[in-house]
Chain A
Amino acid sequence: MHPFRYNRAQTVEDALQSFGKEPNAAFLAGGTSQLDLMKEDVLRPGALIDIKRVPLSAIMATKDGGLRLGANASNTAVAYHEQVQKRYVGLAEAILAGASPQIRNMASTGGNLLQRTRCPYYRDTTQACNKREPGTGCAALEGINRVHAVFGANEKCIATHPSDMCVALAALNAVVQVQKPKGGTRSIPFADFHRLPGDEPQRDTVLEPGELITSVDLPAFTGRSHYLKVRERASYAYALVSVAIALEMDGDTIKAARIALGSVAHKPWMATDAAKELVGKKPDAALFRAAAEKAFEDAKPLQHNAYKIPLGKNTLVRALMETSGLMPLQGTAGTAFASSAGGVAGDDIEG
């Protein structure tokens, strides 16, 4: 591991100041992804500013009826929070379908947004990777690109964003609150927070150096939300494809819909046009199938990941069926059992 200076911040100001003083600094919260990548020599910060003591872990109601998730709130705290379990079920389902209890206890809300891709070429320092070392090329293009993007990729980078939580946050129209290093704040709509690779695949988000996430705010939401994840193991694995749905109903008619797709792009992918097709209509299998076709209309498969297109469509149809109540959830809402397509560990053995 590259040597670094360790600094502990007690306040937001403290953290921003320390960051400004240290060359090549990085904030450290849960560290579950960061430390792992530092051990692999993929990340080589000159200094870490530990923000775990900065009082940003509260989860509280906002004035407009929403819920503020403090940047330091652990993934566990968010998933089991009474208001999340009650009003943002899809978010709880997404978080609990990800990682393991140990990691969810450590991982922070802000850090979850900033985790890096699980593209194996990014983690392998012997391989070309524009995200790790801009200008070196992309080894995944001609490599094994089974888990890579079908939307928004280019010849510079075909990586996907690994988070489950972020897919749900995108569907729930969350807003990222950011403290700027020289004072002032800004609010970034979730769908704009992560970026496509473009000419700078090394940049996963629109955050500027030294900007600190202070919270992720969920707007008031009275509809139904749901997350459905498909993976290769029954548990503790990254998604091949995932879907987050937020539906608002007016009687038996869909009033508003948001669809976010996970593990198909460099960011949570909003299927905006597909969602529009649902508005004003009654939930129906044929309608959902048409929306799924629409959602994947522009998908571009690579050599090894064409399976993601039919898998994604089917997952989307099923997620819509389950969210609208046309199909029962596989498990209790708000748990990993509802969001794990294909069941969970040991389901084929017993109870």
Chain B
Amino acid sequence: MNPQKDAPANHHAPLATEMPNVGSTAPNFILDESSDAGETLHDLRGKPVIMVFSATDWNPAHAEQMAHLYNALVATTPDGDKLTGIRRKENEYALGFDAEEVTIPVLHDLDRNGSAAERFGVLGRKAVFVLDAEGVVRWSHVSSEGESPRVADIVAALQPAPVATAASNTAANGWQTNRRDFIVAALAGAIALAVLPGAPAEAQNPPAKPAVPSGATLPVQLNVNGKTHKLNLDSRVTLLDALRENIGLTGSKKGCDHGQCGACTVHIDGESRLSCLSLAAQQEGTKIVTIEGLAKGDDLHPVQQAFLDYDGYQCGYCTPGQIMSAVTLIREGHVKSDREIREGMSGNLCRCAAYPHILAAVKAARDSGKRV
């Protein structure tokens, strides 16, 4: 179908301070005024675009937000459309369906106090706009300060999408029901749920839908530094992300996230392990100790004190992992010689190459006479 032909007739540009109506052409603006490229919104035509004006603490790199998004997408996906995955690359989302992958540009974090917000008539407000491949507004959601959107409203707004017959292809609200439009709407709704205040909690309990295959959240109970944390996590969340993003213990560091650097080392049942290569769900019933759990109040652990005394770091990013490794190494008795310490610490990389001082610190802690 030709979207140009089927699009509603009223394509006039709206006044600068007025919100563009569904069915009208979105006002143009330069995407990044600080960039020399001068790419404009119109340059993105040919693909649907999602625009998000947000406050914002939206960061799709965070596994939990990705989980909200995925849940919301599953909730808004009609029967028969099997969403199999969602990935983010740069300013695009790639949605996997059975045999195809659809990528959609998403303009996150548009300044809600900037000129684009003014042009879209949403100055100071949080909003989501969906434009089709022709640059026509297909859906919008605006939230006033202090007002929380209702998940049900958003889901309802997305409902006219699946229509089977050609005759009804152009719905009353101007919504075209081809698959890509539906996907965009679903994604927009999902982002609205995840970005706008109050929504995430609801998004964790989406209406029942056949989730295929479900990456849905599961309850996970973690014992960290002697405290029990009851979490509801996407099955994909690693122990490292759960510690940092859900529990708020940011001492364990994400260096490589692939088990190569050791910055994420924690103790699990008394052994040093890599939290980035472990699923949070796998750790139910284990005892986890992070760098935050070593000191007793203001009394530093002997290995922490030794790293301080011997300058066992420069930038400090690898230090929590180094210390966690050193503690178990000393406890296990693999610190009899310099070469044994070096070999035992080989899974912890230090980009500042503070190795001689790290070695000195480990030896000092070993010889301190204190219980490590």
Contacts and interface: CB of A to CB of B under 8 A. Distances in A.
B324 to A, nearest CB: 9
Interface stretch (B39-47, B151-159, B164-172, B257-265): B257-265
Given A6-B235, A6-B279, A36-B258, A336 B343 contact: yes
B262 to A, nearest CB: 6
B129 to A, nearest CB: 28
Contacts of B112: none
Nearest to A74: B271
B244 to A, nearest CB: 16
Interface stretch (B176-184, B193-201, B212-220): B212-220
B85 interface: yes
Interface centre among A46, A76, A337, A345 (most CB of B within 10 A): A345
Contacts of B282: 28, 31, 50, 52
Contacts of A31: 277-279, 282
Interface stretch (B13-21, B117-125, B334-342): B334-342
A32 B277 contact: yes
Interface stretch (A95-103, A271-279, A295-303): A95-103
Q: Chain A contact residues (Cβ within 8 angstroms of B): what range?
A: 35 or more
Nearest to A233: B346
Interface centre among B218, B273, B281, B348 (most CB of A within 10 A): B273
A48 B237 CA distance: 13
B337 A351 contact: yes
Contacts of B328: 101
B259 A5 contact: no
Contact of A3 (B84, B259, B277, B347): B84
A336 B342 CA distance: 12
A221 interface: no
Interface string B295-323: 00000000000000000000000000000
Contacts of A220: none
Nearest to B214: A5
A106 interface: yes
A341 to B, nearest CB: 14
Contact of B272 (A32, A102, A337): A102
Chain B's interface size range is 35 or more
Contacts of A350: 338
Given A39-B258, A99-B347, A102-B347, A2 B279 contact: no
A183 interface: no
B278 A4 contact: no
A35 B284 CA distance: 17
Interface string A230-252: 00001110000000000000000
A351 B338 contact: yes
B258 A102 contact: no
B311 to A, nearest CB: 18
A184 interface: no
A288 to B, nearest CB: 28
Interface in B45-76: 70
A346 interface: yes
Contact of A39 (B235, B257, B344): B257
Interface in A105-153: 105-106
Contact of A105 (B70, B85, B271, B355): B271
A60 interface: no
Given A2-B84, A3-B215, A346-B339, A101 B279 contact: no
B186 to A, nearest CB: 16
A253 to B, nearest CB: 36
B209 to A, nearest CB: 14
B278 A35 contact: yes
B347 A236 contact: yes
Interface of A: 1-6, 8, 23-24, 28, 31-32, 35-36, 39, 41, 44, 46-48, 50, 52, 76, 99-103, 105-106, 234-236, 336-337, 344-347, 350-351
Closest 8 CB pairs of A and B: A100-B347, A3-B215, A235-B346, A346-B342, A6-B235, A345-B342, A46-B213, A236-B346
Interface of B: 70, 84-85, 87, 96, 213-216, 218, 234-236, 238, 257-259, 262, 265, 268, 271-274, 277-279, 281-282, 284, 325, 328-329, 334, 337-339, 342-344, 346-348, 355, 359
28 contacts: A2-B84, A2-B85, A2-B215, A3-B84, A3-B214, A4-B215, A5-B214, A5-B216, A6-B218, A28-B279, A31-B278, A31-B282, A32-B259, A32-B277, A48-B279, A100-B346, A100-B348, A101-B328, A101-B334, A101-B344, A101-B347, A102-B272, A102-B325, A235-B342, A235-B346, A344-B339, A344-B343, A346-B355
